[in-house]
Amino acid sequence: MMKSTIAFLIILLTFAASSLAHTKCGTTEIFQNIHEHHRTKAVSPIAKEARSIYSDCATEDFYDSVYTKKTSHFQIFYTLVGPHKTTLAYVDTLAKALEDAWNFHINKTGMLKPLGDTVSYHYQRRVESGLYPVEIVEMTLFRDIAYILKNRCEDGCYAITMPSDNAPYSSTLLIENDFMYPSAFSPAADSIVINGKSCAYGKPNLELYNRTYKYSYAEKWNNALRVTATHELYHAIQIRYLTPKHNTFWFEASAVGVEEINNPDIDDYIQYIPDLAGYTGTLNEFKDDYSLGVLYLFFYNQVAKKFDKSIWESFSKNSEQPFEYQFTQAAQKLGLSADSLFHEFAVRLSFSGKRAALANSSFLINKDQSSWPNFRHTRTSSLQAPPEIEPFAYGFYTNDQPDLTNFIGRASLAIIKDKSYSIHYLPTLNSVDATNTIIKNESGIDSVVWILSRFSEEQTLPYEVKDSTLRAYPTPWRHGALCFTPLSPNKDFIEIRNRRGNLITKIKYTHNTHCIEESEVKSLMVPGVYRFRVGNSGKLKDFIVIY
pLDDT at 151 (0 to 100)? 52
Statement to judge: residues 489 and 460 lie in one domain: no
pLDDT at 84 (0 to 100)? 97
pLDDT at 384 (0 to 100)? 80
DSSP string, 158-212: -EEEEE-SS-TTEEEEEEESSSEE--SSSPPEEEEEETTEEEEEEPP-EE-EETT
Residue 191 φ/ψ, nearest 5 degrees: -155, 165
The residue segments making up the domain with residue 414 are: 271-303+337-464
Residue 291 falls inside a structural domain: yes
Q: Say how many C-beta atoms besides its own lie within 10 A of residue 244's C-beta.
A: 24
User: Which amino acid does the sequence have at 202?
Assistant: G
Statement to judge: residues 162 and 258 lie in one domain: yes
Q: Find out whether 345 and 295 touch, Cβ atoms under 8 Å.
A: yes
Residue 314 falls inside a structural domain: no
Strands 74-78 and 67-70: antiparallel
Name the CA radius of gyration of the chain, rounded. 30
Residue 82, Ramachandran bin (φ over 0: left; ψ between -120 and 50: alpha; else beta)? left
Q: Which long-range contacts (CB under 8 A, 24 or more apart) does 278-284 make?
A: 278/376, 279/376, 280/376, 280/378, 280/393, 280/395, 281/390, 281/393, 282/390, 282/391, 282/392, 282/393, 283/249, 283/392, 283/393, 284/249, 284/322, 284/323, 284/391, 284/392
pLDDT at 54 (0 to 100)? 62
What's the rounded Cα separation, in Å, for the pair 502 and 499?
A: 7
Statement to judge: residues 10 and 111 lie in one domain: yes
Helix (H) or strand (E) holding 292: none
Statement to judge: residues 475 and 455 lie in one domain: no
Q: What angle do CA 495, 498, 504 make, to 5 degrees?
A: 50
Nearest to 413 by CA among 358, 451, 460, 356: 451
Nearest to 291 by CA among 319, 334, 256, 266: 256
Statement to judge: residues 280 and 226 lie in one domain: no
Q: Say how many C-beta atoms besides its own lie within 10 A of residue 221's C-beta.
A: 23
Residue 327 falls inside a structural domain: no
pLDDT at 13 (0 to 100)? 43
Residue 320 falls inside a structural domain: no
Nearest to 176 by CA among 84, 108, 269, 243: 84
Residue 139 falls inside a structural domain: yes
Q: What angle do CA 270, 347, 253 make, to 5 degrees?
A: 40
Residue 318 falls inside a structural domain: no
Q: Which of 421, 440, 464 is the last residue of a domain?
A: 464
Residue 403 falls inside a structural domain: yes
What's the rounded Cα separation, in Å, for the pair 432 and 420?
A: 21
What's the rounded Cα separation, in Å, for the pair 128 and 202?
A: 33
Statement to judge: residues 343 and 194 lie in one domain: no
pLDDT at 486 (0 to 100)? 83
Residues composing the chain: 547
Q: Find out whether 424 and 473 touch, Cβ atoms under 8 Å.
A: no
Statement to judge: residues 440 and 507 lie in one domain: no
Please give the tally of structural domains in the chain.
3
Statement to judge: residues 79 and 181 lie in one domain: yes
Residue 226 falls inside a structural domain: yes
pLDDT at 462 (0 to 100)? 67
What's the rounded Cα separation, in Å, for the pair 150 and 294?
A: 30
pLDDT at 6 (0 to 100)? 35
Statement to judge: residues 280 and 415 lie in one domain: yes
Q: Which of 399, 429, 464 is the last residue of a domain?
A: 464
Statement to judge: residues 436 and 516 lie in one domain: no
User: Each residue's pLDDT tens digit in the chain (547 positions)?
Assistant: 334 333 333 444 443 333 333 323 222 333 334 334 433 333 333 433 334 456 678 999 999 999 999 999 999 999 999 999 999 999 999 999 999 999 999 999 999 999 999 999 999 999 999 999 999 999 889 888 777 766 566 678 898 888 888 888 999 999 999 999 988 777 788 999 988 899 999 899 999 999 999 999 999 999 999 999 999 999 999 999 998 878 789 999 999 999 999 999 999 999 999 999 999 999 999 988 999 999 999 999 999 999 999 999 999 999 999 999 999 999 999 988 899 899 999 999 999 999 999 998 899 999 999 999 999 999 988 888 889 899 999 999 998 888 888 888 999 999 988 888 888 888 877 678 778 777 877 778 888 999 999 998 777 776 654 456 788 888 888 877 888 888 887 888 999 999 999 999 999 887 777 888 888 899 999 999 999 999 988 889 999 999 8
Q: Say how many C-beta atoms besides its own lie within 10 A of residue 21's C-beta.
A: 10
Statement to judge: residues 41 and 83 lie in one domain: yes
Statement to judge: residues 253 and 358 lie in one domain: no
Q: Which of 205, 240, 266 is the last residue of a domain?
A: 266
pLDDT at 464 (0 to 100)? 55
